[in-house]
Amino acid sequence: MTSFCLKVDLLFSALGRWFLAISMPDGASSPFGLDGLCLVTSIELHLTLVLSWC
């Protein structure tokens, strides 16, 4: 894995966790709820594809 790919992975991982933390502070009853979880999951799936390409 290249250095660039690793930095991108770390960045998106941090962003995903941050978004999950602000969108689901009290679990599924938050404003974003499952939509936030789906967004984070899609970001992670996208990253997996990018990293497999790298």
Look at residue 47 and tell me whether its pLDDT is greater than 70: yes
pLDDT at 33: 53
Q: Per-residue pLDDT tens for 5-39?
A: 778 777 777 877 777 676 655 555 545 555 666 66
Look at residue 3 and tell me whether its pLDDT is greater than 60: yes
pLDDT at 54: 63
Domain boundaries, the chain: 8-53
CB contact burial 13-37 (16+ within 10 A = b; e otherwise): eeebeebbeebbeeeeeeebeeebb
**Model-wide pTM > 0.75:** no
